[in-house]
Amino acid sequence: MQRVVVVGSGDGGTFTANLLASALHDEIHGGLVSVQLVGEHLKHPFQPGNLDVAFKGASPDKYVKDETELIRKEIEFVQDPAAKIDFQAKSVATKGGRTLTYDYLVIATGAVADPSKIPGLAEGSLNFHTGPEDSRRIWEALQTFNGGTVAVAIAGTPHKCPPSPNEAAFMLDEFFRKRGIRDKVTIRFLTPYPRPYPAEKISRVVEPMFQERGIEVSTFFNMDSVDPVDKKVNSLEGEEFQYDLLIAVPPHHGADVIIDSGIGDQDGYVHTDKGTMKVAGQRGVYAIGDATDIPVSKSGVVAHLQSVVVAHNIVAEINGSNDMLEYNGRINCPMEVGQHKAIFVSATYASPPTDQSPSMIKYVMKRSFAMIYWRALNGSLERIFDVFFGQTRFPVKEQVEPQNPVAVKPIEQSARAA
Ligand SMILES: Cc1cc2nc3c(=O)[nH]c(=O)nc-3n(C[C@H](O)[C@H](O)[C@H](O)COP(=O)(O)OP(=O)(O)OC[C@H]3O[C@@H](n4cnc5c(N)ncnc54)[C@H](O)[C@@H]3O)c2cc1C
């Protein structure tokens, strides 16, 4: 019996488990392979929906489904958070007291937005990165905000969805224009980067739009503390800004289980090969998505594309094949810029983002993803994604010695039949 344990039932973990269950369907039914998915929550959120909850008033329930609706029936869903991952014992201990041993492990525990990391931030700010309920609090605050300064701040990097702070500023601008009080509101964007968007070519697109909409920018602003009583935000550089409403992207770190298990870096991210997604120094252990220390955007698209590589590689290993794949660093993050337009921040490890014009087609594509996300998790849209994203995986040059071979179908054939 080959045991695959996937820890984390978010975007990447759910998709990887589904790909594996599809590819290994016969082996699972034949008792040769098992796939267990360890999750904290029954509810699975579509996290980009937080922006709509915060700035368009969507219901927090709109972008949530039960995990059990999203996974294939070959998968055992263990709704019991992992407490400790032990690489030596090849086991995952759950908070509920179970010990799951594995031959292959996928770490997909994501990243945690944590306002407590900056003094005063939790008390003095609202945010749309800790979940739909907190996002709703922004919408409620906006209903009674009749004028003053709204600061949109990046309080730490890296954070989930690099374009999301810029989107927040654009969406706020649109919101106040619709309410007819834009002239009474100052929107100030506080960023630690030297320009409005970290990638220079994208910043060249964002900057003139910020100017045109009257969104003020303060660069090199590394947030140090927030004074929630006097409503001031301070930077390490010694700057201070007064605000009436502070909407901040909190600092992020890796999941508690990574930190508690001592298997991450100082921020709790897992040291992972940026091509094969193998965890450094471990056999049969992979990490994907926001949980890794790879310097690529923490985004669902990245988790998705890495999942395909990891599922393929695990099936190859189980199959005794050296046919391993590498992810090429493809990112594709949408940024809504108001006026029913959007851009996509697209790049690979080898090619940085290029500048582009905002368009309504990109806006429609961004919006439609909220509808297709749930289907994307079962692998049935892979043909479309392959056309859209182009080639995102390549054969590994270095051959990897397989372990415990069991003959199964290649992932590319079987997953797409799902
Ligand atoms: C406001 C916002 C907007 C975004 N917009 C976009 C966008 O437009 N496009 C895009 O591509 N991405 C976007 N993202 C980012 C995207 O949602 C994440 O990058 C993506 O979900 C990462 O997938 P993941 O599987 O790595 O982590 P997640 O989907 O976060 O899943 C991690 C899972 O691990 C679980 N977990 C943690 N610890 C444990 C434990 N001990 N035991 C068991 N389970 C555990 C968590 O509960 C969670 O279910 C956005 C994010 C936010 C917050």
* Amino acid 397: pLDDT: 75
Q: Residue 18: is it exposed, middle or buried by C-beta count within 10 angstroms (0-12/13-18/19+)? A: buried
* Amino acid 413: pLDDT: 37
pLDDT of 290-331, one tens digit each? Answer: 999 999 999 999 999 999 999 999 999 999 998 999 999 999
Q: Could you tell me the distance, in angstroms and rounded to a whole number, from the CA of residue 36 to the centre of ligand 1?
A: 19
pTM: 0.94
* Amino acid 407: pLDDT: 43
Q: Helix H segments across 223-263?
A: 256-261
| Percentage above 90 pLDDT, the chain | 92
pLDDT at 402 over 50: no
* Amino acid 398: pLDDT: 62
Residues with Cβ within 8 Å of 236's Cβ and at least 6 positions away in sequence, in order, are 222, 223, 224
Residues with Cβ within 8 Å of 26's Cβ and at least 6 positions away in sequence, in order, are 408, 409
Cα 98 to the center of its chain, rounded Å: 28
pLDDT at 239 over 70: yes
Pocket of ligand 1 (CB under 6 A): 7-13, 38-41, 47-48, 50-51, 81-82, 108-110, 128-129, 160-161, 164, 255, 257, 289-291, 298-301, 303, 333-334
What counts of helices (H) and strands (E) characterise the chain? Answer: 13, 23
What residue ranges in 80-184 does DSSP mark as E strands? 82-86, 91-94, 99-101, 104-107, 111-113, 148-154
Q: Are 78 and 194 in contact (CB under 8 A)?
A: no
Q: Could you tell me the distance, in angstroms and rounded to a whole number, from the CA of residue 319 to the centre of ligand 1?
A: 30
* Amino acid 403: pLDDT: 44
Q: Could you tell me the distance, in angstroms and rounded to a whole number, from the CA of residue 149 to the centre of ligand 1?
A: 30
Per-residue tokens: 262: 């001592």
pLDDT at 411 over 60: no
Mean pLDDT, residues 386-412 taken together: 65
Q: Could you tell me the distance, in angstroms and rounded to a whole number, from the CA of residue 177 to the centre of ligand 1?
A: 31
Residue 356 or 187, more confident:
187
Q: How far apart are CA 234 and CA 226, in angstroms?
A: 6
What residue ranges in 15-113 does DSSP mark as E strands? 33-39, 43-45, 64-66, 76-79, 82-86, 91-94, 99-101, 104-107, 111-113
pLDDT at 406 over 90: no
Type of residue found at 197: Y
Q: How far apart are CA 79 and CA 37, in angstroms?
A: 8
